[in-house]
């Protein structure tokens, strides 16, 4: 039996980590939780005190936060080559853009979705500066490509590809050609398609594919 136990909900950031699990290709078990009930139950709060998904249990180790789960899995299974090895210069871009998505980009798109405005002259106080600046910076991650770490697909692409796909779908990220081309290409990866099928099947109440 697999030691990897994955807690998620199909309408959550759990889809990011789910995609990563499929890229890793190791056996895992999925626990589907519901908002307001099992996600807030004492059993799950012992796993993640925030009562949010995703979370991953690997034996006695627990990891939460989608980007952290992706980074953990890449290091946990180095044979899958989903992260540049320590000492590789590409590791810098890997860290840079994974943390950029989890920090400034998340802040910028959340502010846009909720209609928050940074007061004039106060942009230095927020991590993303401005929405446009964040997107302009993000665009540099996609050049020269094809991936964040050049020729090597990595966990950083799972995190960034998920964020772009979600943002383009719901209008929190402007439809720039480089964003659309990158997201569309990544969404056709077999692991992404498998993870999406699993989540859609659960939403429809049918059997997992």
pLDDT digits 0-9 by tens, 148-185: 999 999 999 999 999 999 999 999 999 999 999 999 99
My answer on whether 46 and 100 are in the same domain is no
Q: Give the pLDDT score at 160.
A: 97
Please check whether residues 65 and 154 belong to one and the same domain.
no
Of 5, 9, 72, 3, residue with least CA distance to 40: 9
- CATH of residue 22: 3.40.30.10
On the question of pLDDT at 189 being above 90, the answer is yes
117 or 192: whose pLDDT is higher?
Answer: 192
Q: Are residues 41 and 131 in the same domain?
A: no
Give per-residue pLDDT as tens, 28-67: 999 999 998 999 999 999 999 999 999 999 999 999 999 9
| Per-residue tokens: 194 | 């498998």
The answer to whether residue 177 sits within a structural domain is yes
Judgement on whether residues 109 and 186 belong to the same structural domain of the protein: yes
Question: DSSP letters of 165-200?
Answer: HHHHHHTSS---HHHHHHHHHHHTSHHHHHHHHHHH
CATH assignment at residue 107: 1.20.1050.10
Strands (E) across 18-68 are located at 29-32, 55-58, 61-64
Q: Is the pLDDT of residue 199 over 50?
A: yes
For residues 149 and 97, give the distance between their C-alpha atoms in angstroms, rounded to a whole number.
Answer: 9
Q: Last residue of some domain: 37, 54, 81? A: 81
What is the extent of the structural domain holding 48? 4-81
Does one domain contain both 137 and 60? no
Q: Is residue 61, in this structure, part of any structural domain at all?
A: yes
DSSP 207: -
Please check whether residues 103 and 175 belong to one and the same domain: yes
pLDDT reported for residue 26 = 97
Tell me the longest C-alpha to C-alpha distance in the chain: 56
For residue 190, give every residue at least 6 positions away whose Cβ sits within 8 Å of its Cβ, in sequence order, or none. 22
Q: What's the structural domain count of the chain?
A: 2
**Residues 148 and 181 reside in one and the same domain:** yes
Order of strands across the sheet that contains 55-58: 29-32, 4-8, 55-58, 61-64
Q: What is the distance, to the nearest Å, from the Cα of residue 7 to the centroid of all Cα atoms in its chain?
A: 15
Beta carbons within 8 Å of 17's beta carbon, 6+ residues apart: 6, 8, 54, 56, 66, 69, 70, 73
For residue 34, being part of any structural domain is answered with yes
Q: How confident is the model at residue 127 (pLDDT cuts 50, 70, 90)?
A: confident
pLDDT score for 209: 44
- pLDDT tens track for 4-35: 999 999 999 999 999 999 999 999 999 999 99
């Amino acid at each position: 039996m697999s030691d990897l136990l994955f807690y998620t909900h199909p309408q959550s950031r759990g889809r990011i980590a789910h995609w990563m699990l499929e890229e890793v290709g190791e056996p895992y078990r999925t626990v589907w939780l519901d908002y307001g009930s099992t996600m807030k139950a004492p059993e799950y709060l012992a796993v993640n005190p925030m009562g949010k998904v995703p979370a991953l249990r690997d034996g006695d180790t627990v990891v939460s936060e989608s980007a952290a789960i992706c980074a953990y899995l890449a290091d946990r299974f180095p044979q899958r080559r989903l992260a540049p090895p320590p000492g590789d210069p590409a590791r810098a871009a890997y860290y840079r853009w994974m943390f950029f998505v989890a920090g400034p980009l998340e802040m910028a798109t959340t502010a846009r979705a909720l209609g928050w405005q940074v007061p004039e002259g106060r942009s230095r106080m927020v991590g993303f500066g401005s929405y446009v600046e964040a997107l302009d910076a993000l665009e540099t991650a996609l050049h020269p490509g094809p991936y964040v770490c050049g020729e090597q697909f990595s966990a950083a692409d799972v995190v960034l590809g998920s964020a772009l796909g979600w943002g383009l779908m719901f209008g929190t990220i402007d439809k720039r050609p480089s964003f659309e081309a990158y997201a569309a290409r990544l969404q056709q990866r077999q692991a992404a398609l498998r993870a999406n099928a699993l989540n859609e099947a659960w939403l429809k109440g049918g059997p997992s594919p």
